[in-house]
Structure 1
Amino acid sequence: MIKGKIEIHDKFSVIIDVTYDTISKKKKSKYTTLTYLFLPDSLNINGKTYTGAKFYNDVRLFLKYDTPNYSLEEISSGERFLLNNLAKNTKICIKNSSKENLSRFKNQVKMFAATFSSLLRDETDSFIKRKEISNDETIAFLEKIKLILSEFRDIVVLLKNTSLKDAHKNVMFYADEHMSNVVELELMKLFNSFKNRKIGTNSLELIVALIESEQKYKKQKNYVSPKDKNVNPEDLLYKRNRLKKYIESVFFLYQDIRKDGALFEQTVLALAAGLAMVFSTAVAFYYQQLYGNFTMPFFIALVVGYMLKDRIKGSVSQLFVSKSHSLFYDYKIKVTNAFDNKIGIIKEKFSFVPLKKLGAKVKKHRQKDMVIGISERSLNEQIIEYKKKVTIYPKKFGNDLTDENIIGLTDITRLNFHRFIQYMDDPKKDYILVKKGEVYMKAANKVYNINIIQKYYAEEGIEFSRYRVIMNRNGIKRIEKVVLD
């Protein structure tokens, strides 16, 4: 099963998040994704001005294990859930701090903190989207957070009073500080939402109390806290970002990127050189027999033969390589885990495609919700096709982590659109409004729509999704999901 979404990362970048879920334990899992970017011709992005090298410079690919499918209640209850596993592994590590136990302990700490943070973000967003929220529900949500933090911090205290080296203890302290940061930020989002919707003051007071409690806790533990007057806000944000990357690194995978078909290409080039050499040698033998050695005609024949040899080598090489381009992708990425075990292969390919080569369904989805009812030929768009072929090997998948519920791989692709703004008009344009006999000049945003259609091939069948990125010269304004039939 494939799950995908597109979100704004910053004012010039979007994140395309695709999760390949439920990896088979018996056979290879294979997926293919096609991402089409429909660009207005006025942006001057085409095969001449926007090469593959520029595209891959604007794309960053991150691969990670999908966060296990828990709820906040589940991670702190039951014998086999994360908090209990963390407590057991911590006690084992305290008794026997072998290299294997330390590695398992560190991964477990980071995995718990990263999972808690992800679940808290998801549940906060879900909580905010609800139309009606009672004060009792808010209390229950906050109590759930406090319970998990309390149980986790019992383990922190347990570890602090042991003889383990500070370098090993710091992993737990970093996780504790990161979780506190995430609680503070998510509750701030919740507070702003409640305040804007004028939800009961009692709920707001409870949220503020927990935020303040966390800030005091961080100051007490000598973590970087906004309560500390000596803290530079720049340093505070920098450390928060570093902690986030450190904790979440437990789920991220390693990439070995190489050009696809490199061996075949070198073989083809060698064959082209061989053919050219055969020609030049045959010319030399022939004119040697005809005119003999050390004659002017033989010398001229050798020079001409070597001139033609270089041209033949270059022409045949170019022909072979261009013909073989359709057989290979641009890059081949070997995906490995923390134990350096290969768990998958991803191949990626970039190209501009003409409208007539798109499938009927892609054309149909592109024409949905058109502002002006025009034919597909009149759209006058440049179309980028970004293709990925994903193969996942089940044997080593997730064996570097201790959680059996890790059964998905998430592909995070960051696309930067900054290069697209070069030929955009000014972000504001005037228009005329006549009201009560008076003429007014009004200003409106001048925007461009970049349509993105994704086509997923999986064992369950083919799925489509479409998004509209609305941006101007100042950056991305919003992303709209287009509901397909």
Structure 2
Amino acid sequence: MIDIAAKIHDKFSIEFKVGFHVRRKRDQSNFSINTWMFIPNSLDINSLTYDKSHFYRDVKSYIRLITPVFLLREICEGEAIPLKNLERVFHKTASEPTRTAIKEYESQIKMFTAIFKSAIRDEVVHLLKNNIKDDMEYLIASYVESVRNILLKFRYLRKIINVPTISSEYLNYFFFADEYISNLVDQRTCYLIGFLQRKDAGKYEQSIGLLTSLWHDEAAYRQEMKYISVDKDNPLKNREFIFRRSILKKYAESDLFLRARKKKDGVLVEQIYYSLAAGLSMIFATTVAFSFQMKYGNFTMPLFIALVVSYMLKDRIKELMRYYFAHKRLNRYFDNKTEIGIKDASIGWIKEAVDFITEDKVPREVMNMRSRSALVEAENRITDEKIILYRKQVFLDRVEINKNSEYPIAGINDIMRFHLSRFMQKTDNPEEAIYYLNEEGESVEIYGEKIYYLNILMQLQFEDQMDYKRFRVSFTRAGIIRLEELV
């Protein structure tokens, strides 16, 4: 299965989070994504002004394992696998702090933190979307109880590793996780309080009280541990808080990121094609030389002229054949191949390629989904849209993934950020003067946004399943305004 979530990452970039979920009963899984980008001609983005190197500079990808899914209450109740794994590794490391044990100790801390981050995020999102009013108080109480239990049990484990065999450097791994978890509880809980206050402060007074108590208790703990907290009157402190949170987030999630080695794809085949091109051009030049030599003999003016002309044409034929072979191989081969792995084990690969294509090479169902308006169709008769096709194929080995993780891993996330700064370089001013008459009959000048649209269609294929997604990005020279999924 392939799932995809799109959002605006910042003023000049959009983000697609693509999840590739491998089947549990299959040893191997193959995925394919074709993405067509329909670009207005006025942006002057075409094969001459925007080549492959520009595209790959504008794309930034992060490949990581999908975080193991646990409910908040599952982390601290019943089997409580994440906490049990931590306790086991803590005891082992305290007794035998070998290099291997320390590595596993740090890895388990990071994994626990990542699991908690996803669990509390999902729980808060569920609360924000909950439409059953009678369940809200119960859900809030469950959230507060689960968070308190997790914090209590996690922090109790510190006593296991607070021993002479564990240096302060290794103990810091625990404190890094503790500070980040505290940040998450602090910010998520405060956001929930604001949400309930805006929704109906009177009705949810009891729930707000529970959340407020949790927030104040955590604030006191942060002060005791000397963790940096948000301070409305101290911009420098808030800057430091955001900086540390960013670093701690990367640290906590680093164990999920996969080893990725990118290299050019199809290099051997490319060289074979180019060799064929050189051989064909040489055959032409040699044939011309032999023909003129047999007819006019050696050391004659006609032979001299024929050799010069054949040499000139030989190079042109070679370049034309190189161009022909380069374009013939586009559909079969890719620009890059990225080997992905966990530690030293390879778990699969990702291939990608990008090219400008003409409209007649776009599948009919994709063009139907593009559904241009009559005005756009009229414009295209004068200046046609440019179309970029970005192809991606993914192969994952379920057996190797299972071998290298103690947790059930559903697959990988490919987080791709696409920067649109180059697309905005040749746009007009972000605002344009327009006029209307007010109630007094006076001409009034106002300003409206000069907007551009980038349409993106995706074809997602997994085994015999085929799905399509359509997105539209609205932007001006000042930045991205909106990203919407169209049905």
Relative to 1, partners in 2 of residues 1:239 and 1:220: Cα closer, same or farther, differing over 3 Å? same
The letter of the residue matching 2:188 is E
Check if 1:327 corresponds to 2:326: no
1:366 to 356, 367, 370: 370
Q: Unaligned stretches of 5+ in structure 2?
A: none
Residue 474 of structure 1: which of 472, 478, 484 is its match? Answer: 478
2:198 corresponds to 1:190: no
Does residue 107 (structure 1) correspond to residue 112 (structure 2)? The answer is: no
* Corresponding residue number in structure 2 for 1:353: 357
Does the 8 Å CA contact 1:216/1:225 hold for their aligned counterparts? Answer: no
Sort the Cα spacing of 1:396 and 1:231 in 2 relative to 1 into closer, same or farther, 3 A: same
Quick one: distance in 1 between partners of 2:353 and 2:235? 50
| DSSP-derived class of the 1:118 partner | helix
Q: Which residue of 2 aligns with 1:143?
A: 145
Alignment match, 1:410: 413
- Corresponding residue SS for 2:263: strand
Residue number in structure 2 paired with 1:154: 156
Residue identity matched to 2:146: K
Q: Find 2:269's aligned residue among 264, 278, 282.
A: 264
Stretch moving more, 301-310 or 150-159: 301-310
Q: CA deviation at 1:68?
A: 1.6
Please list every run of 5 or more consecutive structure 1 residues that lacks an aligned counterpart in the other structure: none
Q: Given the alignment of the two structures, is residue 235 of structure 1 paired with residue 240 of structure 2, yes or no?
A: yes
- Write the distance in 2 (CA, Å) between the matches of 1:165 and 1:268: 59
Native 8 Å contact 1:66 1:408 kept in 2: yes
Q: Which moved more, 1:110-119 or 1:423-432?
A: 423-432
Tell me which residue corresponds to 2:217.
213
State the distance in 2 between where 1:26 and 1:101 align.
32
Q: CA 1:99 to 1:402, structure 2 compared with 1: closer, same or farther past 3 Å?
A: farther
Cα distance in 1 for residues equivalent to 2:464 and 2:163: 52
Q: CA deviation at 1:7?
A: 0.9
Partners of 2:418 and 2:8 lie apart in 1 by 10
Aligned residue type for 1:420: F
Residues 242-262 of structure 1 show CA distances to partners (whole Å, capped at 9, x for unaligned) of 111111011111211111111
Residue identity in the other structure for 2:197 = K
1:421 maps onto 2:403 in alignment: no
Tell me the residue number matched to 1:461.
Answer: 465
SS for the counterpart of 1:327 is: coil
Shift of 1:469: 1.9
**Which residue number corresponds to residue 43 of structure 1?**
43
Report the secondary structure of 2:471's partner residue. strand
**Cα 1:124–1:267, aligned 2, differ >3 Å: closer, same or farther?**
same
Distance 1:426 1:174 in 2: 46
Contact preservation (8 Å) 2:460, 2:467: yes
CA distance in structure 2 between the partners assigned to 1:298 and 1:365 by the alignment:
61
Does the residue aligned with 1:73 lie in a helix, a strand or coil? helix
What do residues 318-367 of structure 1 show as CA deviations (whole Å, max 9, x unaligned)? 333233233211111111212x2211111111122333333233223222
Query: Counterpart of 1:69 in 2: which secondary structure?
Result: coil
Shift of the alpha carbon at 1:412? 1.0
Kept in 1, the 8 Å contact 2:94–2:163? The answer is no
The CA distance in 2 between the partners of 1:213 and 1:12, in whole Å, is 39
Deviation at 1:463, TM superposition (A): 0.8
- Asked if 2 retains the 8 angstrom alpha-carbon contact of 1:77 and 1:84, the reply is no
Does the CA contact (< 8 Å) of 2:69 and 2:118 recur in 1?
no
Q: Quick one: structure 1 residues 445 and 51, their matched pair in 2 at CA, closer, same or farther if it must change by over 3 Å?
A: same
- 1:315 Cα offset (Å): 3.6
CA distance in 2, matches of 1:437, 1:52: 56
Report the AA paired with residue 171 of structure 1.
Y
- The one-letter code of the counterpart of 1:129 is K
2:54 counterpart residue number:
54
Aligned residue identity for 1:360? R
In structure 2, the CA distance between the partners of 1:230 and 1:155, relative to structure 1 (3 Å rule), is farther
2:32–2:460 Cα contact (<8 Å) kept? yes
What pairs up with 1:11-26 in 2 under 5 angstroms? 11-24=11-24, 26=26
| TM-score where L is the length of structure 1 | 0.87
**Cα separation, partners in 2 of 1:313 and 1:442, compared to 1, 3 Å:** closer
Report the 3-state secondary structure (helix = DSSP H, G, I; strand = E; otherwise coil) of the residue aligned with 1:325: coil
Q: Which residue of 1 aligns with 2:178?
A: 176
What's the % identity of the aligned pairs?
Answer: 32
Give the match's secondary structure for 1:237: helix
Q: How many residues align structurally?
A: 477
Return the offset for 1:188.
3.0
Matched to 1:161, the amino acid is V
SS for the counterpart of 1:438 is coil
Cα gap change, 1:305/1:438 in structure 2, threshold over 3 Å: closer, same or farther? closer
1:163 to 158, 162, 165: 165
CA distance in 1, matches of 2:53, 2:4: 26
CA drift at 1:433: 4.4
How far the C-alpha of 1:4 sits from its partner, in A, is: 0.9
Following superposition, the deviation at residue 309 of structure 1 comes to 4.7
In 2, Cα distance between the equivalents of 1:278 and 1:138?
Answer: 80
Question: How far apart, in 2, do the equivalents of 1:422 and 1:363 lie?
Answer: 27
Q: Does 1:76 align with 2:76?
A: yes
CA contact (8 A) 1:104 1:402 kept: no
Separation of aligned partners in 1, 2:365 and 2:306: 60
Query: 1:258-291 CA distances to partner (integer Å, 9 max, x unpaired)?
Result: 1111111122223434455566667778889986
Cα displacement (A) at 1:23: 3.5
Q: Secondary structure at the match of 2:111?
A: helix
1:427 maps to a residue whose letter is P
CA shift at 1:43, angstroms?
A: 2.0
* In structure 1, C-alpha distance between the alignment counterparts of 2:293 and 2:439, rounded to whole Å: 98
Contact kept? 2:12, 2:479, Cα under 8 Å: yes
Deviation of the 1:417 alpha carbon: 1.0
Instruction: State the SS of the aligned residue for 2:425.
Output: helix
CA contact (8 A) 1:46 1:382 kept: yes
